[in-house]
Every structure is written in structure tokens, then in C-alpha cells.
Amino acid sequence: MAAILASSESQTPLHPSGLAASYFPRLQLFLGEIGYRHGAPPHPNLVFLQSFHEWFHSTLGPILGWNAEKLDNIECATASFGERAYPFTGTEMCLLIAKMTATAMAIDDLVDDDNFYAEMLRFTHRIYVGEAQPHALLTIHQELIKEMANAYTSTSDGDAILTGIAAASWTGFIDGCLVEKRMMRGVKPEAVSSHYQCFPERSDDLKHVHIEQNQVPFLMEGSAIEFPAYLRSKTGAGEAYAVAVFKAKRCQILPLEKVLKALPDIALFICFTNDIMSFHKEQLAGERCNTIHLRTRAIQSASSHNDGGSSGTWSLMDTFNLVCNEVRDATLRVDALLRVEEIERSINQKGVRGTYSDMDIALAKQWREFRDGYISWHLESRRYKLECLRPSDFYQQA
């Protein structure tokens, strides 16, 4: 979610070829398996859009030093994400989601700068000890975490717990970005202790590691098979976005037990759906440090999986299929937990009332609208290059 929407790409439907021809059908099957429904984009919330525009250009934009096109692309991508994925939220919560997402995009972009990386290293430590952040972008991120805490927390014990989960997810996002930076570029010896969790500092230390172009200088042993998913849980801030699914307004009191049971699968849905929807554009760009590539290398290294792939050896397509299956199963588990199908059937059959409350109806509708809207946002965003998968009615609306 942290790359930038390309403004010059065509909206003419494209047809997959080559490697894309193998995973596009699986992606289409996935959309059918979860019962994805494409609806028309919501009517623009002009109050939200104006408020976000003013904040973006008065607070975030001036500290980034980017050109107008790049700033406009981030503003467009994050504003549309808030409205499309969270259509049920009030203006305050939608604005908070868009601000957090825009700031996260900027952090993910700037972490490639060695000076900014060094300033990020003790972000969470500074929060704990009350020190000021050394970079204005990190200060904004910290202030937004506080703003989120104030907006989420009410007199409910459950709200306080969910606030803590969301806040930890946003600080964990910083850690995830740092880990990715270390994997991609190595570690400067002056930045960290040479005796604790250091990656190799010299090329000689990597002589036993085969590194292809754009691959990470990081050995993925089969015994570290869960590491890619763990890293993705950090960089995707899945729990923070999952809590936001159910906190539509400041006054909404949530049933803690039910929401907590749904959070792990919703967080997985958020992170891994982005992975499978991003895979096409990342393949075109030659990116290799992503969940599907990392998991493929880990599984290939695991002796118990070496001969388990559909073509004799484990492949990228096998991992892509595996991730689609995992997201499908997680989606359907949340549907069952929140009784989505039962509630929708009852609503469609007027006068038939099941054993559920108004809160049950609200949670089911919020989840259903989120999961469809989140996927629609990916299909409609030009940066993902998924034009050939968009419903035909989208082109009539565009």
C-alpha cells in the first residue's frame, strides 16, 4: 500500500500475457470464491475531501519536498482509499484513515534515505521515554497515533483495548519498514550494535548466499518459513486497519469479544489481499522483496516442501495459489463469525428476523462493505494495472 499511484497509465482494459496469464485466472477465481461484489463508488464526501486536502497541503506536503505530481498522486490514492474501503465511516474516522495512510506511504518512501533510516531507528523508544522525534514526518506519525487514540477511546474497556492494538500496529509498521531496509541495503555498522542482530557488513559474508538481480541479501532458510508472513504483518499495519473496519464513529461501542475473534483473519485479509492484488505490478517492475517471493524461497528451502509444488518443484505460482487460498479461507471465516450471509438473507427477505441485534447487523454490514470496497479500490487504482479484471460497468461509469 506504500507505493504511489501512477498518473499516466491508461484506463483502457489490458489483456494479460506471459506469466500474468497464469496468475490472473487464479485471481479471478479468488474473487468468485469469496463472493466479491463490485458496487459503484460512493458519492464523494466533500467535507472529508476538503479537510484532507487542507491537511495534506499544509502539514504533510511541505515537509516532503516532492514535486506537485507526486504529491497529487499520494493525495488521490489515500483519499480514494479512505472513501472506497471505508464507505460506512463518518468524516472524522475516514479523515484519520487517510492521514495515517498518507503518512505511512511517505515513511515507506523515505526509509530508503540513510539519514531518515537512522532517525527512524528509535521511533518507539522516543515515544516511551518522552523524547521528541528528530524528523517532522515522524512527529506527524506520532501525533496521528495520539489523535487515533483520542478518537477511538471512550468509556468502554473494549475501546481502550482495541486502541492499544491499533496503536501498537502503527508503531510496528515503523519496525517493519526498518527490517525491509536492512534486508534490501544491508546495515551501516555505525547505526546498530555490531554484536546484536546484525546483517552481513561485507560482501565476503554473503559468499554462501545466491543473490539474483533485485533479490534481497538475506538467506531464506526453510526453518524461517513463517518469517515472510510475520514481516508482512508489520509492514501492512493490518491490525490497525482491521480495528478501523468496526470503529465507524467515535460513539460506536464495540462488542470486544466478537471483534477480537475477527481481527486476526481481517488483518490477514488486509495484508495478503494487497499482496495478491499487487503481484502483477511488482512482477512488471522486477520487485523481489515481497511476501510471495520471500515465501517461495523459504518453502523451496524447506526439505519437506521441495518436491511439493504442482510442477515438481515449488514455484511462484504455487505460492500465489497458496496465498489466495489463505485469504479465501480467512474471508469466509470472518463471514461465518459475523453471520454475514444469514443477516443479508434476512434483510433481503423483509419481515424475517433472526436472533441477532442491531449491533450484529452493523458489524456484518461494515465488514461486508469493507472487504468489497477494499478489493474495488485495488481494481480501480491505475497503479495496480488490473484493468482487465475490472467489471465492464466500471468503464461505463468512468
Domain limits, the chain? 25-38+46-387
Average pLDDT over residues 61-83: 96
pLDDT digits (tens, 9 = 90+) for 5-34: 332 333 333 344 455 567 889 999 999 999
Q: Between residues 163 and 387, which one has the greater pLDDT?
A: 163
Residue 307: predicted pLDDT: 53
The contacts of residue 204 (CB under 8 Å, 6+ apart) are none
pLDDT band at 389 (very low <50, low <70, confident <90, very high): confident
Nearest to 162 by CA among 171, 152, 172: 152
Average pLDDT over residues 243-248: 94
Residue 221: predicted pLDDT: 63
Residue 197: predicted pLDDT: 33
pLDDT band at 311 (very low <50, low <70, confident <90, very high): low
How far is residue 390's CA from residue 386's CA, in Å, rounded to a whole number?
7
Query: Which residue type is seen at 229?
Result: A
Whether the pLDDT of residue 101 is over 90: the answer is yes
Q: What is the chain's alpha carbon radius of gyration, rounded to the nearest angstrom?
A: 21
pLDDT digits (tens, 9 = 90+) for 149-197: 999 877 677 788 999 999 999 999 999 999 988 887 653 433 333 332 3
Residue 8, helix vs strand vs coil: coil
The cell for 374 is 477494499
How far is residue 111's CA from residue 82's CA, in Å, rounded to a whole number?
24
Q: Does domain 25-38+46-387 match CATH 1.10.600.10?
A: yes
pLDDT digits (tens, 9 = 90+) for 195-209: 323 333 333 333 333
Residue 19: predicted pLDDT: 55
Ranking 155-169, 191-205, 252-266, 269-283 by mean pLDDT, the lowest is 191-205
How far is residue 270's CA from residue 242's CA, in Å, rounded to a whole number?
8
Angle, vertex CA 307, rays to CA 304 and CA 312, nearest 5: 165
How far is residue 97's CA from residue 82's CA, in Å, rounded to a whole number?
6
Q: Are 334 and 367 in contact (CB under 8 A)?
A: yes
Task: Give exposure, 337-356, as e/b (b: 16+ Cβ within 10 Å).
Answer: bbbbebbeebeeeeeeeeee
Give DSSP secondary structure letters for 187-229: --TTTS-TTSSPPP-SGGGGTTS---TT--S----GGGTTHHH
Average pLDDT over residues 322-338: 98
pLDDT band at 46 (very low <50, low <70, confident <90, very high): very high
Write down the mean pLDDT value for the chain.
83
Residue 210: predicted pLDDT: 34
Residue 8: predicted pLDDT: 30
Kindly report the number of other CB atoms within 10 A of residue 190's CB atom: 7
How far is residue 209's CA from residue 320's CA, in Å, rounded to a whole number?
24
